[in-house]
């Protein structure tokens, strides 16, 4: 059961002029749409970040190659239900065949297509089914299909995930809209996730690549469900200029507003993935403050987020919070001054100067741990930097889902 996951309605999603989405059913998933085609106008810019898992899927390799070649990306093709990972040369050939098919229908070069897949690993991509369904997706292309697109990329997700907002700059309004999927095998970089965000303002390629890296580091790279990094993770940021004559500049106030707005979108989508985490009963925000660096704070946050002992304690509302101290000590952060570390749960101090607080009340702490949203705050007392990490508890339902995934 998702934890306070905002219900997305079709009417809440603003279109990006010129960006069209088409949905079809290729028969990969039973009785559900499982194919998405996204068509971009000729003047678009696209940046992408991908999993660092060395066993990355074929579509990840092909997408990275197509982006590196510098051709103007004109289309995305996404299937759910099959990851096309762990399939060797067959997987590569299949991903390229899908790109060729879509390119032929859209009258573009196959290098202008980015492929994405999500679903079961070590399962052959049903290329024939996808190729047969591509014309249906193309016939469905429409600027108003974001909500349906969010549903089409779901796997173990319990609900579609989307974000949309219009922000005001000095002389123009800018729309930011995005969708994502993911609920398990979540750990950066990045997650068993796909995320696609579009903004209708002209951002040059070099700046777009810088923007996606900065945004991802504090959003999609700050979430963990189970500590496992998938083979197919992809985060795509698209610039779809509403005004070809206007170019966003890095040192402008407008750029800072756009950067903040894109981060808000990515952060919302990243947290939506955690709120829909497999088997979740608790949504945890782990804040690490007064650190020497953001990276140091994130390392400690992730060490806590990925500890099975910490996560099971929160599932059971068991005030065995010495496990949090142990996770901090195992974080690979050197030279911590343990005597300066204070730890709070929902603003209640339970560890002071690296030891159990004199005010520690197990009944009160257990009561806080029963809540479905929990804030864990670690104060390191050694600097001015900070980081936030979002994670789930680890429940029996999670084990059930992942022990029966193929069946």
Active-site amino acid positions: 192
Token pair for 387? 């980081």
DSSP 314-373: HHTT---THHHHHHHHTS--TT--GGG-EEEETTEEEEETTEE-TT--HHHHHHHHTSSE
By the 8 A CB rule, do 81 and 119 touch?
yes
Whether 198 and 176 have beta carbons less than 8 Å apart is answered as yes
Give the separation between CA 354 and CA 341, rounded to whole angstroms.
5
* C-alpha torsion 111→114→118→120, nearest 10: 0
Residue pair 47/53 in contact (Cβ under 8 Å)? The answer is: no
Spatial separation of the C-alpha atoms in residues 298 and 218, rounded to whole Å:
9
Is 74 within 8 Å of 114 (Cβ atoms)?
Answer: no
Place of tokens 């010129």: 18
């Amino acid at each position: 059961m998702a934890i306070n996951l905002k219900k997305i309605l079709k009417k809440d999603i603003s279109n990006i002029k010129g960006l069209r989405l088409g949905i079809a059913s290729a028969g990969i998933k039973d009785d559900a749409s499982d194919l998405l085609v996204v068509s971009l106008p000729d003047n678009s810019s696209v940046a992408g970040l991908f999993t660092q898992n060395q066993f990355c899927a074929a579509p990840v390799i092909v997408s990275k190659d197509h982006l590196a070649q510098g051709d103007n990306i004109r289309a995305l093709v996404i299937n759910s239900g099959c990851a096309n990972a762990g399939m060797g040369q067959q997987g590569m050939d299949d991903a390229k065949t899908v790109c060729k098919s879509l390119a032929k229908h859209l009258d573009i070069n196959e290098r202008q297509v980015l492929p994405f897949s999500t679903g079961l690993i070590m399962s052959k991509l049903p290329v024939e089914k996808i190729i047969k369904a591509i014309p249906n997706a193309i016939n469905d292309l429409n600027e108003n299909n974001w909500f349906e697109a969010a549903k089409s990329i779901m796997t173990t997700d319990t609900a579609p995930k989307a974000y949309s907002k219009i922000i005001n700059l000095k002389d123009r309004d800018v729309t930011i809209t995005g969708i994502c999927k993911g609920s398990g095998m979540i750990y950066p970089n990045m997650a068993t996730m796909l995320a696609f965000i579009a903004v209708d303002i002209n951002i040059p390629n070099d700046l777009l690549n810088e923007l996606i890296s900065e945004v991802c580091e504090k959003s999609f790279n700050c979430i963990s469900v189970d500590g496992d990094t998938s083979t197919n993770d992809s985060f795509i940021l698209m610039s779809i200029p509403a005004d070809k004559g206007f170019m966003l500049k890095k040192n402008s106030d407008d750029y800072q507003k756009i950067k903040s707005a894109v981060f808000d979108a990515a952060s919302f989508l990243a947290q939506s993935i955690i709120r829909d985490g497999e088997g979740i009963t608790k949504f945890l925000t782990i804040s690490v403050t007064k650190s020497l660096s953001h990276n140091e704070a994130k390392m400690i946050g992730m060490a806590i987020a990925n500890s099975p002992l910490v996560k099971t304690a929160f599932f059971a509302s068991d005030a065995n919070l010495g496990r949090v101290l142990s996770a901090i000590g195992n974080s690979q952060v050197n030279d911590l001054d343990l005597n300066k570390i204070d730890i709070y749960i929902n603003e209640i101090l339970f560890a002071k100067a690296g030891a159990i607080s004199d005010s520690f009340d197990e009944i009160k702490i257990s009561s806080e741990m029963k809540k479905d949203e929990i804030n864990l705050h670690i104060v390191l007392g050694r600097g001015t930097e900070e980081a936030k990490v979002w994670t789930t508890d680890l429940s029996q339902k999670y084990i059930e889902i992942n022990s029966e995934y193929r069946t």
